[in-house]
Amino acid sequence: MYIILISHDSFRTGNAASIAESLHDMEHFGFSGYDSDAIHFDWSYIKRHRDAYVARLNEIYDRNMKNSGVKPILGSAAFVNSDTVEVTSTVDGSIQQLRAKHILIATGGYPVFPEGDGIAEHAISSDGFFELDELPHKAVVVGAGYIAVEIAGILQALGTDTCLAVRKEHALRSFDDLLSQTLDEEMQRQGMHIYRETQGVTKIDYDDSTGLKTVHFRNGDIINEVDTVLIATGRAPNVETLNLPLAGVGQVPKGYVVVDEYSQTTAPGVYALGDVCGKVELTPMAIAAGRRLADRLFGPSDWKDSKVSYDLVPTVVFSHPPIGTIGVTEEEAVEKYGIASIRVYQSKFTNMYYGTWMVAADDKPKTAMKLVCAGEEERVVGLHVIGMGADEMLQGYGVALKMGCTKADLDATVAIHPTASEELVTMFPWGLSSQISGAKTPPLNGAGPPEPSIPSSDS
């Protein structure tokens, strides 16, 4: 028997916000009517249809598991020892013990709230965001990570008076400075209010007569007359009830499960992946780790060393504008390789989409890109993009970086015009890098394409 402990992550969408932004832009392309009563956004409509879509997805997953011969056991599980779990049914309360040669911990994470009067009572998490029945008139989003900037961007685009409160100077501090600074500028240009150096929220007051809230911060800042307060200050691994010590599963002080490069915990036969490990907390990363683990445990002998790489993971933040990033930041590259061994190429420009807008150049949304290169061959070790289409363009460049591309490889690629992504293969200065390729079949100097290995007809 193979046991999998699963929890579902939040379903997130910003499509409605993107449509709202397009409607806002339409006057710049000759369309009228944006300021009329003809355009109306119905939050309840998108909520109903989004919830129905998620329900259909759950049905599809359930059907696929059933068709694959997987038996679901609905309940709360806890370890008895390293090869046995006890499950209390959420259907009828019955208890059963299940024993297995392999047990996988994949219970995900959950949002945590800071301590303070009224915070837990009067704020919601990202999970609560999807339960809102009405679009807030005024909202405060507390946090500086992915979830905070994504939800703040959605609310602002849909018309909510949105405040983003960050503990220090700006959001996404672990990202390359070009990304975090450009996003900060763009959020302000869109009208979002950013409260900086707040040092965290301390309490939330609730007015029974108006239903509005007052948010207090450690630095003395106060935000009044707020409909919705959303806390996105962090997450924790969902492991408290699993009795991990009984199985001999080690944890770090914050509760994350200790695993090696093969997703093996400190207990033989017990594995863990996804958010419970605290490495790269992204759904596709967990899927990739799960596939490699299944290959290793149940595949042919030549897959016995299968494992996933947590390096060069392409990552997208669905902020407004979106961000695509892979590899190290400029600061990390300097620390890792030394400042003398890196070269940075960057560009900041206005996407051609905004070319016809009759507004000042500084008022047009910006796209920014950076290539961080290292070594004599100028291998690309970091690629960072923010702007329209960044989310879609990153996947292909992710393949290139995983294959070891150099600046010369990018320069040798013909640009697709007119697109924003062409900037990455025409980045100034162009064509002056050492003519060293990271490819098995170098594309430099007009070389032909690599050819596949085709067995001869005689074989």
Closest by CA to 312, choosing from 333, 328, 332, is: 328
At residue 173, the 3 state secondary structure works out as coil
Residue of 40, 122, 137, 417 with catalytic role: 417
Q: Is 92 exposed, middle or buried (0-12, 13-18, 19+ CB in 10 A)?
A: exposed
- Residue 285 and residue 393: Cα distance in Å, rounded? 19
Q: Rounded to an integer, what is the distance from CA 410 to the centroid of its chain?
A: 26
Residue 434 three-state SS? coil
**How many whole angstroms separate alpha carbon 380 and alpha carbon 406?**
5
| Residues paired with residue 134 on neighbouring β-strands, in sequence order | none
Q: Which of 226, 32, 50, 25 is nearest to 130 (CA)?
A: 50
CB 383 within 8 A of CB 401: yes
Angle at 214 between CA 212 and CA 217, to 5 degrees: 155
Contact 147, 318 (CB under 8 A): no
Extract the tokens encoding 390.
């960044």
Measure the CA–CA gap between 456 and 453, rounded to whole angstroms. 9
| Residue 417 falls in the annotated catalytic set | yes
282-304 exposure pattern, b = at least 16 Cβ within 10 A, e = fewer: beebbebbbebbebbbeeeeeee
The arrangement of strands across the sheet holding 102-106 comes to 2-6, 102-106, 270-272
Provide φ and ψ at 283, rounded to 5°.
Answer: -55, -50
Let me know: does 304 contact 357? Beta carbons within 8 Å.
Answer: no
Positions marked catalytic: 417
